[in-house]
Structure 1
Amino acid sequence: MNICFISREYPPQTGWGGIGTYTRIIAQALAARGHAVHVIAVSNTGSAFEYADHAVHAVHVHRVLPLPFPLPQGKALYRFRQAARAFAFNTLVRLSWAKAAGEKYRELAKTKNFDIVESAECGAEAFYVKPRDGARLVIRLHTPWSMAAKLDRIDEGRFDTWLTGYFERKTALRAHGVSSPTQALASILRKQWGLSRIVCYPNPLDADSFSAPALPGNYIIYTGRVERRKGVHLLVQAYGMLIKKGIDMPGLLLVGAPFGGIAGQGPYEESIERLIDSLGVREKITWIKKADRDEVVRKLPGACMAVFPSLWENFPYACLEAMAAGLPVVASRCGGYEEIIEEGRSGVLAAPGNAEDLTQCIERMITDTCLAQTCGQGGRERVRVLCNTDAVVLRTEQLYGECAHG
């Protein structure tokens, strides 16, 4: 098959999160199976360029620059353009990238004869893609921006967030196939977007590519973007409570870039810094704010456990990678975590948004070495089976085949 992925995120240049990690892993796995794979991703260098990603088999990567805002021109529409920039600025930023990706896709499609085009729903990146000559559009659900923005309380305006959600839904509804790594997100979007059929199968990850530590490390670790919906404020609060109880706590290592500003409160980064100072735990907490995925992977073996206290989550690679590295994990009892973690066997789940319950779960994992060992070993095996790349690729090929011949 000839396959094209459209993903603003694609490591290493723009490997900002789980969408980029998923896209690279699945693209390389499909290429290894003999498919011709192209990826259209954003350029952060100021110029467009192309290269072959040879990590496994060649994936052809096309980096493009966003285009000007997709607004009608002419003097008569000046006030409309001004209003659009004022009330829908962030949606226009997303559409300017989507339009560039759509134009690059049409250029490539003239000679590549794509069978499948896959893109995330987040940000409506495939909105301008019009598959030609039998090519089929597949949308992979990660978490819509319109949903994430509400959880993060992002201060970008209700209309702006709603409009992005409109384009996300419209793109998903015209797709020939929709897939999700979790039943949790599929259930929500079936109701909210009216998607009639969503195929569910996990995201891929090779657990054996991670080194499991021979002995427990000396710090608790959190990896991922530091934003409100990830619940990092709850982790800092729980850590402070444990220190106050007089428990001999290992250090806490946060690895991830700060993201988002909460309406009426300023940047989330500043609220976390203030919280750390107010609890008097500055000397016990280290925050690495700039780290690529390779550095994150290097930090995992030195940890004794990982904590992911999200308010809601789909299928987070940060948690999967920690489990693959053999770390006992405490996460929230919400969304995809409940489909990933088996309570007491591959991790422990805390009530979402509840710092007290999170405190108890962390204390339990710290003090019960038998539980920690069981969850560490069980978590690694869980990822090995659940996220087996070969199995996920077969499910992906099956969906592609159904879309191509349906």
Structure 2
Amino acid sequence: MAVRVLMLSWEYPPRVVGGLARAVCGLSRALVARGVEVTVLTLGEAGSPFREEDRGVEVIRVRNGFPSSPDLIPTIAHFNFDLIQAAVPLMETGFDLIHAHDWLVAYAARTLKHGYRLPLVATLHATEHGRNQGLHTPLQRYIHDMEWTLTYEAWRVILCSEAMREEASRLFHLPGDKTLVLPNGIEPDEVAVPEGEDLAAFRRAHAAPDQPMILAMGRLVPEKGFHVLLDAFRLILERTPKAKLVLAGEGPQRKALEEQAERLGIAQHVYFKGFATDPVRNRLLHVADVAVFPSLYEPFGIVALEAMSVGLPVVAARSGGLAEVVEHGETGFLVPPGDAGALADALVPLLISPGLREHLGRKGQERARTRFGWVRVAERTLEAYHRILEERRQVRWLSLLDGVRPRDRRADGGAGLEVLPSRYTGDGTLAPATPAPAPGAAAQGGRAGRAARPGHTSPGPASAS
């Protein structure tokens, strides 16, 4: 029987804010190709249908964009209420588990988990602490708490890189057997351009034929390190005066970056492209000479993978998941985060050597297509689903009021788990049961639990079921 999964995500194409939308879309489509039945509940975009089928994925959108509000928290709360309302009638068809992506859907995920006693899988694509290099405001601390709650409630927490696993384990006190590293993926058709496309004309609109073109893409926010790139580009122009930098992306830092380019005297060599739709992104990838990703914080870096998949050599900061995607000296170059001089030194040889570009680009393309295909990622995700469902069959899900024995309960309170006569060892096998717990006791710790943070109390016995 096919596994049925309810995906919760705050973005899904055509609503694309960052890499999360493409990751959820790519995974969902690949899971469907493996026989999984996937329903995605997400936020709508103006002009997008409220319900559609996307290559076998059932997509249901709950509203068109967030309502205009200066306060993010009530806005997110309303979105989660909408998700729950949309999910309730769907639950009658029977899902096997819930897969939630990031903190913006945490409340709905937790509510549906307990309401329908379904295992919850959480993928954490980034952390608020990492994005801001700490928690400096009440809003940042609130988001961090929501991330903590999501990881606490999850049966498994999926991270996109080993760097993210280390970060999440440290921030949220996750036991090692509760986390799983599954990278994001890429498929060649996602970055293809139509046959007959006049790429030469497209390139001429961005750079002259004799101008080596550097492409940078991403949301214009401080953690992407584009301010470091502009400092590096000033140094590059001293050695390769004809170089052109195309910066594709939109975000709150755009004005500051444009002003920085003016101050540095490089504005005429920098093209602020703005947000690039998927077709425009694909054309840019096919006409650029080199791609650069100077991120100060990058959990994975799916855009770098997209660049590699079309044979574009990559220079990236050695931050987070980028260091696991790019092999230094083999498929591209890695430099220390925030080091403009090192970034310039890595880019200049690629700008002046077509042979080096071709060699690194070919190696990068091979790595991207063999190591990071969505088919492989979906296979490993499905294996994780099956393990979770097998573990779920070994436990009885109890709804308990604090201090009330199961036989005395009158209403649902905090959820707990009572272990049946076998236990999961963590290596795919079931071992003989440990001595039965005392009457009324619930399973504690292990995969489901973890110690509460200092100053916080646990939500209840094994409530992270």
TM-score class normalised by the smaller sequence: 0.7 to 0.9
Match of 1:103 in 2: 85
Match of 1:73 in 2: none
**Per-residue deviation, residues 94-131 of structure 1 (Å, max 9, x unmatched):** 2332232233223311x221112112224344454322
Matches of 1:46 and 1:33, distance apart in 2: 30
Matches of 2:327 and 2:262, distance apart in 1: 35
Q: Which amino acid aligns with 1:251?
A: K
- Call closer, same or farther: CA 1:47–1:161 in 2, change over 3 Å: same
Shift of 1:46: 9.1
Match of 1:62 in 2: 60
**Per-residue deviation, residues 20-69 of structure 1 (Å, max 9, x unmatched):** 0011111111112222211111123399821222xxx3211111139999
Shifted more, 306-315 versus 41-50: the winner is 41-50
Matches of 1:247 and 1:351, distance apart in 2: 22
Match of 1:74 in 2: none
Matches of 1:42 and 1:309, distance apart in 2: 30
Equivalent in 145, 157, 163 of residue 128 of structure 2 = 145
**Per-residue deviation, residues 136-195 of structure 1 (Å, max 9, x unmatched):** 2111121023432x14x99xx711110111011111111111111201011111111011
Matches of 1:295 and 1:306, distance apart in 2: 15
The TM-score, its normalising length taken from structure 1, stands at: 0.84
Match of 2:265 in 1: 280
Shift of 1:288: 1.4
Unaligned runs of 5+ in 1: 70-84, 260-267
- Call closer, same or farther: CA 1:275–1:288 in 2, change over 3 Å: same
Unaligned runs of 5+ in 2: 194-198, 204-208, 392-465
2:231 pairs with 1:231:
no
Match of 2:314 in 1: 329
Match of 1:203 in 2: 184
Q: Which amino acid aligns with 1:30?
A: L
Match of 2:35 in 1: 34
Q: Is the 8 A contact 1:124 1:164 kept in 2?
A: no
Give matches, 1:210-229, under 5 Å: 210=191, 218-229=212-223
Q: Is the 8 A contact 2:4 2:95 kept in 1?
A: yes
Q: Is the 8 A contact 1:207 1:380 kept in 2?
A: no
The TM-score, its normalising length taken from structure 2, stands at: 0.74
Shift of 1:309: 0.2
Matches of 1:67 and 1:380, distance apart in 2: 36
Matches of 1:114 and 1:206, distance apart in 2: 28
SS in 2 for 1:326: coil
Matches of 1:122 and 1:224, distance apart in 2: 21
Q: Is the 8 A contact 1:124 1:167 kept in 2?
A: no
Shifted more, 205-214 versus 299-308: the winner is 205-214
Q: Which amino acid aligns with 1:177?
A: R
Matches of 1:275 and 1:297, distance apart in 2: 28
Matches of 1:284 and 1:186, distance apart in 2: 39
**Per-residue deviation, residues 61-93 of structure 1 (Å, max 9, x unmatched):** 111139999xxxxxxxxxxxxxxx99xx32333
Q: Is the 8 A contact 1:202 1:386 kept in 2?
A: no
Give matches, 1:5-404, under 5 Å: 5-12=7-14, 14-45=15-46, 49-53=50-54, 57-65=55-63, 89-109=71-91, 111-125=92-106, 126-131=108-113, 133-148=116-131, 150-151=132-133, 158-196=137-175, 197-207=178-188, 210=191, 218-243=212-237, 245-259=238-252, 268-404=253-389
- Call closer, same or farther: CA 1:100–1:252 in 2, change over 3 Å: same
**Per-residue deviation, residues 199-245 of structure 1 (Å, max 9, x unmatched):** 112112114654599999941101111111000111111111221x2
Q: Which amino acid aligns with 1:337?
A: L
SS in 1 for 2:111: coil
Q: Is the 8 A contact 1:91 1:161 kept in 2?
A: no
SS in 2 for 1:319: helix
Matches of 1:346 and 1:295, distance apart in 2: 24
Matches of 1:165 and 1:269, distance apart in 2: 26
Shift of 1:344: 0.6
- Call closer, same or farther: CA 1:205–1:379 in 2, change over 3 Å: same
SS in 2 for 1:130: helix
Q: Is the 8 A contact 1:66 1:99 kept in 2?
A: no
- Call closer, same or farther: CA 1:195–1:102 in 2, change over 3 Å: farther
Shift of 1:277: 0.7
Q: Is the 8 A contact 1:5 1:119 kept in 2?
A: yes
Matches of 2:189 and 2:356, distance apart in 1: 22
Shift of 1:135: 2.4
Q: Is the 8 A contact 1:122 1:145 kept in 2?
A: no
Shift of 1:399: 0.8
Matches of 1:96 and 1:257, distance apart in 2: 26
Q: Which amino acid aligns with 1:162?
A: R
Matches of 2:341 and 2:185, distance apart in 1: 33
SS in 2 for 1:65: strand
Match of 2:431 in 1: none
Equivalent in 2, 5, 8 of residue 4 of structure 2 = 2
Matches of 1:204 and 1:96, distance apart in 2: 31
- Call closer, same or farther: CA 1:112–1:298 in 2, change over 3 Å: farther
Matches of 2:250 and 2:65, distance apart in 1: 26
Matches of 1:47 and 1:393, distance apart in 2: 26
- Call closer, same or farther: CA 1:321–1:198 in 2, change over 3 Å: same
**Per-residue deviation, residues 234-280 of structure 1 (Å, max 9, x unmatched):** 1111111221x242332111111123xxxxxxxx2221011111122
Matches of 1:35 and 1:288, distance apart in 2: 38
- Structure in which a larger fraction of residues adopt helix: 1
- Call closer, same or farther: CA 1:48–1:211 in 2, change over 3 Å: closer
Q: Is the 8 A contact 1:220 1:253 kept in 2?
A: yes
* RMSD value, Cα: 2.7
